[in-house]
Amino acid sequence: MLEILQKPWPWYVAGPLIGLIVPALLLLGNKHFGISANLRHACAACFPAGIKFFKYDWKKEIWNFFFVGGIFIGAIIAVNVLADPHPIAVNSSLLKELSKYGITDHSSLLPSELFSWHSLFTLRGLIMMVGGGFLVGFGTRYAGGCTSGHSIMGLSDLQWPSLVATVMFMAGGIIMANLFLPYILNL
């Protein structure tokens, strides 16, 4: 059983499982799926007398805290119990491409040249992690939700704003990966 969980699941299994979350949440409690709203709920719980944006009855959405807790616990289980002990297999053409940008450590899922405390305090790290984090946070708030909320929940509800947001998320990702990222990685 553990071997089945350690391997990536094919799209025809994982996709429908993700898709079934939407009707399950709607049928079981008229709840909407999304991650970014959880930060707002946490801020409203921690700073109830502060900013007007956080003054609402966040207790109605307390199930979101259990959802985020499940993500956190699931990540710990995935890393410590289900992690594949074998090195990560990376396509040889991708290895050549990455080596052009100085990314040669493939011993873990995230290359240490990009994701480490040392790289955070470089120009490349500040642009990618701090600047990118700000842009993702701003974009999520500006779009009225995150990729999971719009692309999974909103599209299944046939919401026009979610279709527009999903198209823009994809276009932004393609533009970033193909036009801007090569220049940032060469810093």
Q: Where are the domains of the chain?
A: 1-83, 116-187
Angle at 146 between CA 72 and CA 171, to 5 degrees: 125
Residue 19 has pLDDT above 90, yes or no: no
- Spatial CA neighbour of 109 closest among 94, 129, 89, 81: 89
4 by DSSP, 3-state: which? helix
pLDDT band of 49, cuts 50, 70, 90: confident
Q: Where are the alpha helices (DSSP H) in 30-87?
A: 36-46, 63-80
- Spatial CA neighbour of 119 closest among 106, 99, 102, 135: 102
Q: Write the DSSP symbol of residue 157.
A: T
What does the block give as tokens for 105? 């450590």
Looking at per-residue pLDDT, the higher value among 54 and 163 belongs to: 163
d(CA 113, CA 119) in angstroms, rounded, equals: 6
Q: With a threshold of 0.95, does the pTM exceed it? A: no
What does the block give as tokens for 141? 């708030």
pLDDT band of 2, cuts 50, 70, 90: low
- For the stretch 68-116, pLDDT in tens is 898 899 888 887 877 777 777 788 998 898 888 888 888 777 888 888 8
